[in-house]
Amino acid sequence: MDNFIAARSQMAMSLAFHIIFATIGVSLPLMMTISEWRWRSTGDPAYLLLAKRWAKGTTILFAVGAVSGTVLSFELGLLWPRFMQYAGSVIGMPFSLEGFAFFTEAIFLGIYLYGWNRVPGWLHLASGIIVAVSGVLSAIFVTLVNGWMNTPAGFDIVAGKFENIHPLIAMLNPAGVPEAVHMVLAAYTAGGFATAGIHGWLLLRRGRNRFDEAAIGIALLVGGVAVILQSVSGDALARMVADKQPMKLASLEGQFHTEIGAPLRIGGIPFPDERETKYAIEIPHGLSLLGFHKYNALIKGLDQEPQADWPNVRIVHICFQIMVGCGSLLSLFALASSWISWKKRPLHTLFLKALVFVSPLGFVALEAGWMVTELGRQPWIIYRLMRTKDAVTSMPNVTLTLSVMTAVYVILGIVVVWLLSRHVIAAPETKQIEHPEVLV
Amino acid sequence: MNACVILAAIMLISLVIYSLLGGADYGAGFWDLVCSGPRKQGQRDLIAQAIQPVWEANHIWLILLVVLMFSGFPSAFSSMSVGLAVPIFLVLLGIVFRGSSYVFRAYFAGDVRTQLYWGKVFSISSSITPLFLGIVIGAISGDAVLVDDGRSENGFLSTWLRPFPLIVGLLALSLFAYLSACYLTVETDDSELQGDFRKRALFSGFISIMAAFATYLVAENSAQRILDGLSRSPDCLLIEVGAAIATLVAFHALCVRSYPRARIAAAAQVGLIVIGWGFAQYPYVVRPELTIFNGASPPNILVEVEIAIALGAVILVPSLILLLLIFKSRGTPSAQ
């Protein structure tokens, strides 16, 4: 494997790993805080147990998220030193703010997790709220940086260097805000549905109980509301991409030819050499409508760009289809479950089975979505300004560090799953009696 | 004062706080590795309980440092990332293993063998990380990290595999171990445990003094310029004298078992050593080429980042004080 591919793989692997933990770090604190608030206002002990359980899950996941996030902040330099050399000063602002948000999150998470018996109730609940809010802020700031890589703004290029930099304009770049909203909602969707699914599975296994029902209630509310809002956010993001990154839109839609009133393709496999996307269901004028909200809008195709500068159209298009497909399925499920809860029907076995089935789709969509945005930006690390291959490190043997990091992350992943299944998911009664000390 | 100097000062302060808080957490991990005697388990429990609520918050000072470095001094960050890629990668591995094995160990309650295994991973990675952090600091204080257009002139090993960086690594490890032992005496009311860590503090304190002298001796040969920096200004002399006094006070306090005083004096000692390094390194970020002036971001960026830091500090400082008050004030033994 050459160094460039190894560096890209290492970055991709680190991001794909970290994003799972970062996402849970955003969504689980919200759910645990809601649960604690329900306990304080209703006195129902199921909510207290749930808050403690979720807090324990947060401890494990946040620790792994914190260290894998540290890895990323160093890897920006280790793998892409030239990118950091030129862009570091432009994107420093959101990263600095993220540093502070992360700080607040860690401090109040410490208070939340280990302060049950040490701080007054209101301060404990407030700590949970601060953790939830600062988690969201961290996610927003980091995504703003990714937005800048897609739609760089806030500077002039003078003699090949960034001059007249305005950090705030760079931070609030066109792609940044819609991407950040999309990411936060994705975090709630993925975290909410995965949690609801786990408790749905438990409910199926151990029969009706207050604990799992309360958990599903909160988790599905968070995930369901988020996924419904996600469709609005996705539309805003798609129109931004259509406007600012037409080639990216073309590759994620498999649009090879410039066309007026382009169709929306559902599914299909792009064949770049034949310049055609085959086997797709085409909805006439659909893409023009979605991209520009106009029936006959002009959609630029990949033919506007030399083929050497195309991203990997096939993977990008397929990942995009996976993301949209998962999102749509989850939206349908959210609508169905809101109807069920509105009618006050009891949770049917079939419903729970469906819930378990759809629960991982939030994470599938999240990973696929990041593949779309990262691979869709290629061959650029800063869109139309710096090529990824020009940013890569000169260090040899990146394959070695890639192999080591992959092995480490695989081991960590396995241990985390194992621990979660033992501590967060296991039946409450026995565990509580055996190890009261770890339940604090 | 110039915006470059202000940002450099903020970074130095962050480095001091990271050493005093995060460094002590690493040191505690080191003591976990060498736990011995009849109170072995008691020592382990004390260590675990002392760092549990705070280590993540303490760790973030490092992230803040990295972020400020690439915002303010991107060329220096880039050069270090290339020239010192190997030790930085090892620091990262250490950080990943330290953090994750720590929570893993805590959650494998009931399974003693697995717990011991993760405990080993935790303590070994806690010891390796400060070693390589020290090596990075030593390397940027020497003359070997030269990166031109993304290419390291001294390769990827001989930038840091030299006597001076290695001895600074040892110095960092021994100082953190010393600091941590001093803190741990205050974390318990058990006088036998206090005695254990008192002995460890005196021993590691002695080692760190030896390491400090060795650093001077080696610097004579291979890092002459930072030594010149150290003897250049009266400020440096004052800081050195301060550190020496703090060392004496700390050792005296340990001898007479006045632990709270030993804790403060040891913190002052380590803090002054780091500050002394900062003054000696001034104005360089990465010797011998990159200073805080020639490698800095444009002034408007520095100013805006500094404003952001000021706003952040308004939230951060009270929160941090609250955290430490809740978990580190005397008279509130762990409820667990």
10-residue block means of pLDDT along chain B (336 residues)? Answer: 88 94 91 86 86 83 90 90 91 91 80 83 93 94 83 84 91 94 90 90 93 89 79 82 92 90 92 91 85 86 90 89 82 40
Between chains, do A76 and B70 touch, taking CB under 8 Å as contact? yes
Residue appearing with tokens 């802020």: A137
Q: What is the DSSP letter of B22?
A: I
Among A96, A111, A411, the strongest candidate for a mutation testing the B interface, having the largest count of B CBs within 10 A, is A96
What part of A 104-143 touches B (C-beta under 8 Å)?
Answer: 104, 106-111, 113-115, 117-119
Between chains, do A113 and B53 touch, taking CB under 8 Å as contact? yes
Tell me, what's the pLDDT at A277?
86
Pick from A67, A118, A167: CB nearest B332? A118
Among B115, B118, B292, B319, the strongest candidate for a mutation testing the A interface, having the largest count of A CBs within 10 A, is B319
Between chains, do B71 and A438 touch, taking CB under 8 Å as contact? no
Between chains, do A97 and B312 touch, taking CB under 8 Å as contact? yes
DSSP code string of A200-233: HHHHHHH-S-HHHHHHHHHHHHHHHHHHHHHHHH
Pick from A96, A107, A438: CB nearest B305? A96
| Residue of chain B nearest A64, judged by CA positions | B100
Determine contact, residues B281/B141, Cβ cutoff 8 Å.
yes
A14/B contact by beta carbon, under 8 A: no
Q: What is the DSSP letter of B162?
A: S
Between chains, do B107 and A438 touch, taking CB under 8 Å as contact? yes
Q: What is the DSSP letter of A42?
A: H
Pick from B89, B304, B305: CB nearest A401? B89
* Spatial separation of the C-alpha atoms in residues B251 and B271, rounded to whole Å: 16
- Cis before residue A284, ω within 30 degrees of 0? no
Tell me, what's the pLDDT at A428?
55
Between chains, do B92 and A74 touch, taking CB under 8 Å as contact? yes
What part of A 158-187 touches B (C-beta under 8 Å)?
Answer: 163, 165-168
Cβ atoms < 10 Å from Cβ of B104: 25
The two three-digit tokens of residue A252, written as one number: 């994620």
Q: Coil, helix or strand for A45?
A: helix
Determine contact, residues A199/A219, Cβ cutoff 8 Å.
yes
User: pLDDT tens track of chain A, all 440 residues?
Assistant: 788 999 999 999 999 999 999 998 899 999 999 999 999 998 888 899 889 888 888 888 888 888 888 888 888 888 998 888 888 888 888 998 998 898 899 889 989 988 888 888 899 999 999 999 999 999 999 999 999 999 998 888 888 788 888 888 889 999 999 999 999 999 999 999 999 999 999 888 888 888 888 899 999 999 999 999 998 999 999 999 989 999 999 998 889 989 888 898 988 899 888 888 888 888 888 888 888 888 888 888 888 888 888 999 999 999 999 999 999 999 999 998 888 888 777 778 888 898 999 999 999 999 999 999 999 998 899 988 899 988 888 888 888 888 888 998 898 888 888 887 777 666 555 444 334 334 43
| Residue of chain A nearest B301, judged by CA positions | A167
Sign of the torsion formed by the C-alpha atoms of A181, A21, A367 and A409 = positive
Residue B34: closest CA among B172, B159, B188, B196:
B196
* Spatial separation of the C-alpha atoms in residues A115 and B335, rounded to whole Å: 9
- Cis before residue B283, ω within 30 degrees of 0? yes
Q: At what angle do helices B112-141 and B163-186 cross, to 10 degrees?
A: 130
The contacts of residue A3 (CB under 8 Å, 6+ apart) are: A392, A393, A395, A396, A397, A398, A399
Between chains, do A63 and B332 touch, taking CB under 8 Å as contact? no
Between chains, do B74 and A84 touch, taking CB under 8 Å as contact? yes
| Residue of chain A nearest B336, judged by CA positions | A437
- Cis before residue A263, ω within 30 degrees of 0? no
DSSP code string of A257-313: S-EESPPEEES-EEETTTTEEES-EEETTHHHHHHHS-TT-EE--GGGS-GGG---H
End-to-end distance of chain A based on CA atoms, in angstroms?
Answer: 48
| Residue of chain A nearest B305, judged by CA positions | A93
Between chains, do A86 and B95 touch, taking CB under 8 Å as contact? no
Q: What is the DSSP letter of B1?
A: -
What part of B 292-321 touches A (C-beta under 8 Å)?
Answer: 297-298, 300-301, 304-305, 308-309, 312, 315-316, 319-320
Determine contact, residues B83/B40, Cβ cutoff 8 Å.
no
Hey, what's the torsion of the CAs at A236, A240, A246, A248, to 10 degrees?
-70
Sign of the torsion formed by the C-alpha atoms of B130, B210, B260 and B64 = negative
Pick from B57, B67, B332: CB nearest A106? B57
Between chains, do A113 and B327 touch, taking CB under 8 Å as contact? no
**Secondary element (H or E) of residue A432:** helix A428-434
* Spatial separation of the C-alpha atoms in residues A336 and A172, rounded to whole Å: 37
| B147-185 pLDDT, tens digit each | 887 788 888 888 888 888 999 999 999 999 999 999 999
Determine contact, residues A322/A365, Cβ cutoff 8 Å.
yes
* Spatial separation of the C-alpha atoms in residues A234 and A328, rounded to whole Å: 11
| Residue of chain B nearest A99, judged by CA positions | B64
Q: What is the DSSP letter of A359?
A: T
Between chains, do B308 and A100 touch, taking CB under 8 Å as contact? yes
Indicate the burial class of B191 (C-beta count within 10 angstroms; 0-12, 13-18, 19 or more).
exposed
Sign of the torsion formed by the C-alpha atoms of A388, A393, A399 and A401 = negative
Determine contact, residues A162/A87, Cβ cutoff 8 Å.
yes
Between chains, do A167 and B301 touch, taking CB under 8 Å as contact? yes
Tell me, what's the pLDDT at B333?
43
Between chains, do A92 and B56 touch, taking CB under 8 Å as contact? no
Determine contact, residues B167/B215, Cβ cutoff 8 Å.
yes
The contacts of residue A139 (CB under 8 Å, 6+ apart) are: A22, A26, A180, A183, A184, A187
Tell me, what's the pLDDT at B330?
55
A393/B contact by beta carbon, under 8 A: yes
| B161-164 long-range contacts, CB within 8 A, separation 24+ | B162/B222, B163/B218, B163/B221, B163/B222, B164/B138, B164/B215, B164/B218, B164/B219, B164/B222, B164/B223
Q: What is the ipTM of this complex?
A: 0.85
Exposure string of A264-285, with b = 16+ CB inside 10 Å and e = fewer, is: bbeebebebeeeebeebeeeeb
Among B10, B52, B56, the strongest candidate for a mutation testing the A interface, having the largest count of A CBs within 10 A, is B56
Q: How far is B272 from chain A (nearest CA, A)?
A: 25
Between chains, do B108 and A419 touch, taking CB under 8 Å as contact? yes
Integer angstrom CA distances of residue B19 from A42, A152, A227, B24, B106: 45, 36, 43, 7, 24
Hey, what's the torsion of the CAs at A416, A418, A420, A421, to 10 degrees?
160
What part of A 270-299 touches B (C-beta under 8 Å)?
Answer: none
Q: At what angle do helices B112-141 and B259-281 cross, to 10 degrees?
A: 40
Indicate the burial class of A139 (C-beta count within 10 angstroms; 0-12, 13-18, 19 or more).
buried
Cβ atoms < 10 Å from Cβ of A258: 15
**Secondary element (H or E) of residue B247:** helix B234-255
Integer angstrom CA distances of residue B328 from A47, B35, B124, B228, B295: 30, 23, 26, 40, 40
Residues of A in contact with B106 (CB under 8 A): 438
Q: How far is CA B117 from the centre of its chain?
A: 26
What part of B 76-105 touches A (C-beta under 8 Å)?
Answer: 77-82, 85, 88-89, 91-93, 95-100, 102-104
Among A4, A395, A433, the strongest candidate for a mutation testing the B interface, having the largest count of B CBs within 10 A, is A395
The two three-digit tokens of residue B213, written as one number: 């002298």
The two three-digit tokens of residue A388, written as one number: 């990824």
Between chains, do B82 and A81 touch, taking CB under 8 Å as contact? yes
Determine contact, residues A55/A113, Cβ cutoff 8 Å.
yes
Taking the CA of residue B220 as centre, how many other CA atoms within 13 Å lie in the half-sphere pointing to its CB? Answer: 6
Q: At what angle do helices B55-72 and B24-33 cross, to 10 degrees?
A: 130
Determine contact, residues B265/B246, Cβ cutoff 8 Å.
yes
Pick from A89, A119, A393: CB nearest B297? A89
* Spatial separation of the C-alpha atoms in residues B31 and B29, rounded to whole Å: 5
Q: How far is A217 from chain B (nearest CA, A)?
A: 27
CB pairs under 8 A between A and B: 223
Tell me, what's the pLDDT at A129?
95
| Residue of chain A nearest B83, judged by CA positions | A395
Pick from B82, B156, B309: CB nearest A96? B309
